Amino acid sequence: MQQVSFSLQSHKRGFHLITNEILSHLPLLPEYGLLYLFIQHTSAALSLNENADPDVQRDLALSFDHLVCENEPFYRHTCEGFDDMPAHIKSTMIGASVTIPITNHQLNLGTWQGIYLCEFRNQASTRHLIATIL
């Protein structure tokens, strides 16, 4: 087992393909195993999704903004900005981790799959991840 902690560059609000950025922080992958990625934040998430058509990223962002609106009058957690509580809700919906099989020293993603950083804050900071290779 190996474990690596690293930071991602800041990304604007939206859904961002980060597969190559993740790989750049990892050691040589074993012949077989699992990669478990965990993001140490409550206003961003990790997901696997379409890696070819950028319209998917746009459509996901618009859909989540439609599902979870900002400035709802019933939000009580508002001290960190109008986008903070919706970011927590969206993060809960998607999740803080992904697990990917490793085969022949490579991530065994589907043909059209990539790793996404789902950034829900307007002024996001650096995001910290932990990668555990089993």
| Mean pLDDT of all residues in 37-56 | 97
Average pLDDT over residues 40-63: 97
Burial 32-64 (b: 16+ CB within 10 A, else e): ebebbbbbebebbbbeebbbeeeebbeebbeeb
pLDDT of residue 59: 98
Average pLDDT along the chain: 97
| Alpha-carbon torsion angle 64, 66, 68, 69, nearest 10 | 140
- Looking at the structure of the chain, the number of domains it has is 1
CATH number at residue 113: 2.60.120.460
What is the pTM for the complete model shown? Answer: 0.95
Q: What is the mean pLDDT of residues 106-134?
A: 96
> Domain range spanning residue 15?
2-133
Q: Which residue has the tokens 């490579």?
A: 106
So what's the pLDDT on residue 45?
98
Strand partners, 101: 34
pLDDT band at 134; cut points 50, 70, 90? very high
Q: Are 126 and 77 in contact (CB under 8 A)?
A: no
